[in-house]
Homo-oligomer: A and B are copies of this chain.
Amino acid sequence: MKARVIVTLKTGVLDPQGQAIEGSLEGLGFSGVQSVRQGKVFDLELSATDPVSAKTEIERMCEKLLANTVIENYAVEIIG
* A residues adjacent to B (C-beta < 8 A): 6-8, 18, 21, 24-25, 28, 30, 32-48, 57, 60-61, 64-66
Closest to A46 in B: B32
- Separation of A30 and B3 alpha carbons in the complex (Å): 15
Across the interface, do A46 and B65 meet the contact criterion of CB distance under 8 Å?
Answer: no
Nearest-CB residue, chain B, relative to A15: B43
Contacts A21-B66, A25-B65; A40 near B43 (Cβ below 8 A): no
Cβ of A36 and Cβ of B43 under 8 Å apart? yes
Q: Are the C-beta atoms of A38 and B36 separated by less than 8 Å?
A: no
Contacts of A42 in B (CB 8 A): 18, 21, 36-39
